[in-house]
Amino acid sequence: MIRRLTLCLLLAAAVIFLIYGQTTLRPYWIKNHIDTYTVADWLPNLLAPMILVLLYTLIKEVNDTAVLFRATCSLVAGLIIYEIVQLFIPSRTFDHKDIIASIVGGAIIYGIICGVFKLFPPLDNQTS
């Protein structure tokens, strides 16, 4: 129960930060030329795998780090494919920094969730 609550709080924090970043931080950074290494552009790509992996973990009730690793890699691969496909869509822009941000975001959330798994082990009847 505490594990699930912790994951829900992490998900809520990531979504709130994404919304805040897109509606407040990004316009402020761009307006004031504070954008170092285009943080405003790749921040959503850093948070996207975090949100997707947390959602998957909560919906599927993942308790195994091997399953979590496969899910994280699959979701990050999907985001990378999406970024590459943007090369062929006229109104979209491909950016290699978005791919790096997706990989980094996936690695960060994998480590965070593994930490949550160690801090709050599942009850015997909750193992998958």
Alpha helix stretches (DSSP H) within the chain? 2-20, 26-31, 39-60, 65-85, 96-119
Q: Contact, 128 vs 70, CB < 8 A?
A: no
Q: Is the pLDDT of residue 125 over 80?
A: no
Query: Around 4, how many Cα atoms within 13 Å sit in the side-chain half-sphere?
Result: 9
102 three-state secondary structure:
helix
Residue 28 and residue 98: Cα distance in Å, rounded? Answer: 20
Give the rounded percent of residues in the chain with a pLDDT score beyond 90: 68
pTM, two decimal places = 0.87
Instruction: State residue 120's pLDDT score.
Output: 93
Number of domains in the chain: 1
Per-residue model confidence as pLDDT tens digits over 23-55: 888 888 778 877 655 666 788 999 999 999 999
The domain of 87 spans: 2-126
